[in-house]
A and B are shown apart, each in its own frame.
Chain A
Amino acid sequence: MTTGYAPLLESLTRLRGIRGAMVVSAEDGLVVAESLMGGIKGPSLAAMAASLTSRASELAVKAGLGAPRFLHLQAADGSLLVAPASSDLVLVAVAARDVPLGLLRLEMLRMAERLV
């Protein structure tokens, strides 16, 4: 894990039901820092999350909504949460099904503001 982002990711992964968190470069989809449970493929997740974020941004802008502040992809066994930060980075979290999503969303938005 990249030292500078370690405390931020650790505080996120300490939350109940969080299976992993990453800081990803939005432009190229590469991992900047990660704290993931076993079984989650960091490079694939980073690439897909960055791609999803850029497509969603395009969609939101074309719909006249402006840049998205938060993405929540709900799947059968959990959720993928993405908070784009202002500095070309995105904060990504993988959550199990039974997490307090409201609290997690607030926490991620707060953390995304601190990403530089």
Chain B
Amino acid sequence: MRAIEPWVLGPLRTFVAESSARIALLMTTSGQVVAQHGFTGALDLMAAAALGSGIVASGSELAMEMDWPPFRVVAHQGERQSHLLAWFDTPRGRWIALIVFGNETKLGLVQVFFDRMVDELVSAAPPEASQRREVLAADFERELNTSLRALFGR
């Protein structure tokens, strides 16, 4: 289990243990990975984050077209594995969670523990720094490398 920001680890670790989720991925709405559990390859992780944020974005657009409130949760039930994709608001902005689970647990249980994790993340989030620095290309590359090291330990 790895996270860009250490305060995410506690709630995520508890969630994975309680829900028996096989894979958990937290990301921003732009697909930037915040934390992950269960992924072993960088490419899979980045693809999952991009697809997850894309699904949430297209679902929100679809809901807007229909004059519905945006879908908060999308669940897909497979024969051996299922997944839950949901967005939630934190003091650090809107995040998305992709949770993959097997037949050893249930969608209802995953949802109950997921809601608890969201509450814990919201409580644990430190206040965001009030001043933002200008983003330079060199900073971006350095931060990207730091993030990849944090997520994969490389």
Contact B111 A27 (CB under 8 A): no
B107 within 8 A of A: yes
Contact status A28-B107, CB under 8 Å: yes
Contact of B105 among A43, A44, A51 (CB under 8 A): A51
| Chain A interface size, under 10 / 10 to 19 / 20 to 34 / 35 or more | 10 to 19
B105 touches A30 (CB 8 A): no
Could you tell me if B77 and A47 are in contact, using CB atoms closer than 8 angstroms?
no
User: For this complex, into which size category does the number of interface residues on chain B fall?
Assistant: under 10
Chain A residues, Cβ within 8 Å of B124: none
Chain A residues closer than 8 Å to B112, beta-carbon distance: 43-44, 47-48
Asked if B94 is an interface residue, CB under 8 A from chain A, the answer is no
CB contacts under 8 Å to B, within A32-64, are 43-44, 46-48, 50-51, 54
Does A29 count as interface, using CB distance less than 8 angstroms? yes
Question: How near does chain A come to B21, taking the closest CB pair, in angstroms?
Answer: 14
Q: How far is the CB of B71 from chain A (nearest CB, A)?
A: 16
Residues on B with beta carbons closer than 8 Å to the beta carbon of A47: 106, 108-109, 111-112
9 contacting pairs across A/B (C-beta < 8 A): A24-B108, A28-B77, A28-B107, A31-B108, A43-B111, A47-B106, A50-B106, A51-B108, A51-B109
**Interface residues, chain B, with chain A CB atoms under 8 Å away:** 77, 105-109, 111-112
Q: Can you name 16 extra interface pairs (CB under 8 A) apart from A29-B107, A50-B108? A: A24-B108, A27-B106, A28-B106, A28-B108, A29-B108, A29-B109, A31-B108, A43-B108, A47-B106, A47-B108, A47-B109, A47-B111, A47-B112, A51-B105, A51-B108, A54-B106
